[in-house]
Amino acid sequence: MYKQLSSGVKISITRSISTSFEAYLASIGWDEDKFSMEDYMVIWQNYFKENAAWIEKIPTDILLSSEFHEEIAKKMDEVITKILNEEPTEKQKTEIAKLQKKLGTNYKFDCKSEAAYVEQLLKDKLK
């Protein structure tokens, strides 16, 4: 069912998953101990209901299908795994190192998205 959707709708679904996941992680300060898949699901559902036009482009019978929900769950796993495994860029590492030296901090980060969060956090502290 998911495969039958237009590429634009699939891209929008992927974007809603990644955007809401990164926003959720930022809201918990990227603290693994605070992570709850149930809480993330609530955030994602609110995100796509309020911000995503793709939901209106999918026929109701597909939206209500358990097969579609299973396929979306698999897509979520893929997107989340990709986010968590994408290496920080050298530019991010360099910038964070400079900021941490200025601020005397020692934040750790494991992936590109977390590095973006840490970099913004450090820039905000400099203000």
Identify the residue whose tokens are 């990709």: 82
User: Maximum CA pair distance of the chain?
Assistant: 56
Helix 37-51 vs helix 7-27: crossing angle, to nearest 10: 130
Taking residues 54-62, what's their average pLDDT? 90
Paired tokens of 108: 């750790």
Place 127 in a pLDDT band, splitting at 50, 70 and 90: confident
Taking residues 17-45, what's their average pLDDT? 95
**Which tens digits make up the pLDDT trace of 62-119?**
989 999 999 999 999 999 999 999 999 999 999 999 999 999 999 999 999 999 999 9
| Domain spans of the chain, in order of start | 2-85, 90-126
Q: Which amino acid is at 35?
A: F
Helix, strand, coil percent content, the chain, rounded in steps of 5: 80, 0, 20
